[in-house]
Chain A
Amino acid sequence: MTTTSRAVRRKSRPAAPPDPARPFLPTTEQIRLLDPAGTPLPAHPDYPVPPVEALVELYRRMVLGRRFDLQATALTKQGRLAVYPSARGQEACQVGAVLALRDEDWVFPTYRESMALTARGIDPVEVLTLLRGDWHCGYDPAVRRTAPQCTPLATQCVHAAGLAYGEAYQGRDTVALAFLGDGATSEGDFHEGVNFAAVFKAPVVYLIQNNEYAISVPLSRQTAAPSLAYKGVGYGVPSERVDGNDPVAVLAVLTRAVAHARAGHGPFLVEAHTYRMEPHTNADDAARYRDADEVASWQDRDPVVRLETYLRDRGALDDTTVARVAAQAEEYAADLRERMHDKPTVDPLTLFDHVYAEPTPQLVEQRAQVRAELAADQEGAG
């Protein structure tokens, strides 16, 4: 070794290798394409504004979604539903996610995604079956490509990974989108799901609606991470943060996430910052854990108003269209109200029909017992 080469080595350190985590890290600021007042921000290089027709449709379904949500809350107060977890304030996430998908893609919703399911075109009565109480899942998940609404937290994250992998395994380009909330990111199944999806390069989009609360527990008790979007980097999953009350940004980010998954690059994780305007459910008292000023501050970031302002300013929406959409929403709610008014008929004998493909001898015996009880009741009543 010569003196010269030693001198050279002393002078120049080898260049630091590129940070291998960089491709997975979210942007430090939430992706935002509209300001809270609905004024467009400068164009973002990675997230072009979606076509205006898509945004008008997004607006329409958000208005219908909000009306549905209000109606469901009203139905709860009238005793038609056992309980209803509202998603008011989260319309951009609920509807934007669904619009980013194709019909043949799969959705893995939680109990708070009723609005997303109606936006997907599922009959609202079938969506509310779970909460009305005549069965668990009211729609046909296989036909609707929509899993039953998941009440256990985060378990659907693993199902989405498996379904997406299974579809790809069989040569189909289906994408699975799993909804979850901020609280669910603390559950083990979230981590196992994201990890499985990453290891098997499964085409899944994980959409975390961070609405600041898991019932009463604030985000600060769920995580010490700078944001939930940083959960992806540990699994090698590209992740992004988006203003969840900016419908244009939500659709833009999810469109890119879905395209990433469909192209075979594996899962993508999105954290949408939003806010639950209502209590956890009608049975909850939010005043015990958050103050009115906080709720009011989010009123100014209403995603429906924000999109309407933007579309009006662009000349893509006028009074006539707004009125027509409002009328559609009223009609939708009236139809739902009317159909939910009828008490559904339930048949206790169907309790034994879907436990196994064929009932066990024990279930056959129990069915006969219930049948006899029902007959005796009828005789007694007659």
Chain B
Amino acid sequence: MASMTMAKALNAALADAMLDDDRVVVFGEDVGQLGGVFRITDGLAARFGDKRCFDTPLAEAGIVGFAVGLAMSGLRPVVELQFDAFGYPAFEQIASHVAKLRNRTRSALTVPIVIRIPYAGGIGGVEHHCDSSEAYYAHTPGLKVVTPATVADAYSLLRSAIDDPDPVIFLEPKKLYFASSEAQLPVRTEPFGRAVVRRPGTDATLVAYGPAVPVALAAAEAAQAEGRDLEVVDVRTIVPFDDGTIAASVRRTGRCVVVHEAQGFAGVGAEIAARVQERCFHSLLAPVLRVAGLDIPYPAPMLEHTHLPSVDRVLDTVARLQWDDQPDERWVTVG
């Protein structure tokens, strides 16, 4: 086993996919000679030529729309939208075409495109560079929405995304790009649609994905010191969503907190909380709570730590899970 960064694993996944399938083409802004602003496409143009990995005009709707046409011609485009908020100009192409072409044509035309988006914050980025945009995509039928939290998953989920017959929004947590862990490539982890228990526990379940997974794990470690044994489930693929693994965990523990960076209101956490209470009502010992970003535009770098889910905020929330059978003061007082 070697220690490597998530960035390196993603780069290896792209290279291996290009090696295995010459229909795979990689393009976007600065992905060619530069190798991408995060170096995820480093060396691909040199290795595979500038027809397989190339720079485009600076226009995100153009990049995604061009990918639609390329996919219609039989290629397997993997595009990079440089930052989360730079994906918004492409939203019409994604929501109206990428997501719907299969449906509109009764599967006669399909567009197996992978749209890679470095997302979320925690890196001191300036505005428009730190959004957690997963809810927009998860709300759009026809898209698969994936976000890795480990180095092995980064490699494996990206390979699965490129192999997948459906379009995939592949959200790469910027904060984890340069975090290292042990991985032996090539590696294949669980397929799409499977959540994974990252840390078993008995007292409560923390459900997280992407950049929130390490926060949940750290919180579970800290809770252990306080005598609470928390289970951590990594969602991995928001669409398709694995109700089974998450519900089974919550039924075992009886308590659940969902953790994500995105704003809480109408976020993916709201969906998860609703699904958990639908499926686990009779096992629940406390309401399902959420630790999410505040309902504010992503803050300036010096204030982002207040916005982001922290270990302390997770622990405070876990403490409110009615351990002594007392109702949550917060809700009693607000009525």
Contact = CB atoms under 8 A, between A and B. Distances in A.
Interface in B287-332: none
A354 B109 contact: no
A360 B239 contact: yes
B105 A159 contact: no
Nearest to A357: B165
Given A169-B51, A357-B110, A192 B240 contact: no
Contacts of A148: 101, 104-105, 109
Q: Is the interface of A mostly helix, strand, loop or mixed?
A: helix
Contacts of A250: none
A143 B75 CA distance: 17
B88 interface: no
A278 interface: no
A159 B72 contact: yes
Interface stretch (B61-69, B146-154, B170-178): B61-69
B45 to A, nearest CB: 15
A192 B141 contact: no
B2 interface: no
Contact of B73 (A137, A162, A195, A361): A162
B8 interface: no
A176 B69 CA distance: 10
B282 interface: no
A166 B75 CA distance: 7
Nearest to A159: B69
B65 A193 contact: yes
A51 interface: no
B183 interface: no
A162 B105 contact: no
A222 to B, nearest CB: 19
B87 interface: no
Given A136-B105, A155-B97, A196 B193 contact: no
Given A161-B69, A195-B57, A135 B62 contact: no
B203 interface: no
A152 B104 CA distance: 13
A323 interface: no
Contacts of B240: 356, 360-362
A83 to B, nearest CB: 17
B103 A361 contact: no
Contacts of A21: none
18 contacts: A135-B106, A137-B108, A142-B109, A158-B61, A160-B69, A161-B62, A162-B65, A162-B70, A162-B72, A163-B70, A164-B69, A165-B70, A166-B71, A195-B59, A354-B103, A354-B105, A356-B142, A356-B240
Interface of A: 106, 135-137, 140-143, 147-148, 152, 155, 157-167, 169-170, 176, 188-189, 192-193, 195-196, 199, 353-357, 360-362
The 9 A-B pairs at the shortest CB distance, nearest first, are namely A162-B69, A158-B65, A166-B73, A192-B62, A163-B69, A162-B66, A357-B165, A360-B240, A136-B104
Interface of B: 25, 51, 56-57, 59, 61-62, 64-75, 89, 92-93, 96-97, 101-110, 141-142, 144, 164-166, 193, 239-244
